[in-house]
Amino acid sequence: MYRVSPFVRHFARALLSGALVATLWVNLSPETYYDAIEFRLTDLPGLILPRPMALTPLALVTEGLMALFLAFIGKELWEALTLPHGALAGRRAALPALAIAGGLAGSVVAWLLAAALLPEVPAGAWAIPIGSDVVLAYALGRLVFGPGHPALHVLLAVTIGLEMAGLLAMGLSRPPEVFRPLWLILPLAAPLAARAFVYRDRQRSEVARAHVLQLWPWAVAGLLSWIGVLAAGLPGALGLLPVIPAMPHARRNFGLFAEAEGFLHDPLNRLAQLLVRPVAVTLFLFGLTCGGVVLSAAGTPTLAILAAIWAGKPLGLLAAVWAGARFAHLPMPPGLRPGDWPVLAALAALSFTVPLLAIGELMPGGLPDAAARLGLAIGLFAAAAALPLRRATAP
């Protein structure tokens, strides 16, 4: 099996470091913490944006810098779906795809049930528990399964799929009055224009090859796409995703976050390599601005989050995988045993990055917001079930 790049573990450390600093800060001095992350840098007029917005460190990270991280994992998902030997391409990827669908459905159903039974849990915030956490799940999965285990590649595929599903659900959950679909022409047209520009010389010459390998047209297209997504009323974190399918890329997939991709010279992989350090910084800043957990903020949203990610998501994932294997006779991914799936479900239940974004978008501020964040933090202890499950199901 291919080797996963070590930067995924560095991403996990950066995210947790930022969140730990933020948690200490917000519990020791909440006033200074919130003053810092909500400090008004400038006011952005509503000329392009659907409504005026204050530019704060929090908004700069969530609406701007996080687009880099989500483009990074979006690139991996796109290659997994479309390239030969991709982790989600072909019949052998059917069970991971079903696992994504089952985890999504289970978390939403559990949230809606909790919303019907518990006060202060808005049913319209159903998108919050869908997302997983790619970097934390992989870092812990590596400890549970050991380096190089085939289950790690399936875990990456499932968590990336859940992250992207959570993002799209968050965009769909925004109020309809701020959605301006005509602006979506810009993120659709900019990548197509960039592709037409770099392929303007069809001849197989060194000049034509140099045109295709240029990165600056894609940087311009990414900026225009991000502006269009924001102006359309969607989360800015989605802004770079429309550019990925248009970019020239390698003809073969070496696997999710494969170390071998560092030696490829196509624009998509070169851009991903350039983003490694900025993404690590982004994840630290994201943990610092969004990961502060108020330890005394327990409430009914805490219970709803835990019901969705400790029960709904893993049970939905396992039910979908069981049904696919039992009734559709779908093959196991290479190297996996049926007993590996409960461990994968416990790890995929880890929910942090995209759910934190969704909480900022969909939960009312104050105590419900803080209670939901506490639920995500407690939910990380789902990983504690992975090791005993692994020991119980090991051959």
Q: Tell me the pLDDT band of 52, cut-offs 50, 70 and 90.
A: confident
Average pLDDT, the chain: 89
Q: What phi and psi, each to the nearest 5 degrees, are found at residue 255?
A: 125, 165
What whole-number distance in Å separates Cα of residue 286 and Cα of residue 123?
A: 26
- pLDDT tens for each residue of 72-131: 998 988 888 787 766 666 676 889 999 999 999 999 999 999 999 998 899 999 999 999
Are the C-beta atoms of 128 and 341 separated by less than 8 Å?
no
Of 341 and 391, the structure prediction assigns the larger pLDDT to 341
Summarize pLDDT for 188-239 with one digit per residue, the tens. 999 999 999 888 776 656 555 666 788 999 999 999 999 999 999 888 999 9
**Average pLDDT of the residues in 13-33:** 97
Closest by Cα among 283, 245, 276, 259 to 65: 283
Confidence of residue 47 (pLDDT cuts 50, 70, 90): confident
pLDDT confidence bin for 352, thresholds 50/70/90: very high
H or E element at residue 110: helix 94-117
Instruction: Assign 285 a pLDDT band (cuts: 50, 70, 90).
Output: very high
The tokens of 297 are what?
């903020």
Q: Which domains does the chain have, with CATH numbers?
A: 7-393 (1.20.1530.10)
Q: Higher confidence at residue 52 or residue 295?
A: 295
pLDDT at 387: 83
What pLDDT, in 10s, does the model give residues 178-189? 888 899 999 999
Q: Which two tokens stand for residue 75?
A: 């690139």
Q: Determine which of 9-18, 31-40, 47-56 has the lowest per-residue pLDDT on average.
A: 47-56
Quick one: which of 369, 355, 341, 342 has its CA closest to 309? 355
* pLDDT of 314 strictly over 90: yes
Query: Which positions ≥6 away from 279 have C-beta within 8 Å?
Result: 11, 68, 69, 72
The residue-averaged pLDDT of 234-246 equals: 93
Confidence of residue 2 (pLDDT cuts 50, 70, 90): low
The pLDDT of residue 206 is: 54
- Report pLDDT for 25: 98
pLDDT tens digits, one per residue of 266-278 = 888 889 899 999 9
For residue 221 the two structure tokens come to: 């297209």
**pLDDT given for residue 207 in this prediction:** 55
3-state secondary structure of 146: coil
pLDDT at 364: 86
